[in-house]
């Protein structure tokens, strides 16, 4: 089994941070956003994705199930 990922105590994470924490490529995260409606990061006015802790947990669960 994979070891538990320690998610830092922050409110929001950029896509690069989520990629490092979950060992997932950015294009995979963007694709999963289109396939899994529960994965909806916030977007800044400039269009940057901001993932919440719940989003990271969802990404980890998707990876586990796949």
Write the pLDDT tens digit of every residue in 25-51. Answer: 999 999 999 999 999 999 999 999 999
For residue 13, give Cα distances in angstroms to 1, 53, 65, 66. 25, 8, 23, 23
Taking 60 as the threshold, does the pLDDT of residue 56 lie above it?
yes
If we measure between CA atoms, which residue out of 57, 62, 66, 65 comes closest to residue 4?
57
* Residue 17, pLDDT score: 95
Are the C-beta atoms of 29 and 21 separated by less than 8 Å? no
Task: Give the bridge partners for 42, in sequence order.
Answer: 50
For the chain, percent of residues with pLDDT exceeding 90: 83
Mean pLDDT score across all residues of the chain: 91
Q: Which residue has the tokens 């989520």?
A: 18
SS3 31: helix
Which pLDDT band holds residue 2 (cuts at 50, 70, 90)? very low
């Amino acid at each position: 089994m994979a070891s538990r990922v320690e998610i830092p105590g922050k409110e929001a994470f950029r896509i690069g941070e989520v990629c490092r924490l979950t060992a997932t490529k950015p294009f995979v995260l963007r694709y999963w956003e289109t396939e899994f409606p529960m994965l909806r990061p916030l977007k800044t006015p400039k269009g940057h994705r901001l993932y919440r802790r719940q989003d990271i947990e969802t990404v980890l669960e998707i990876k586990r199930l796949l």
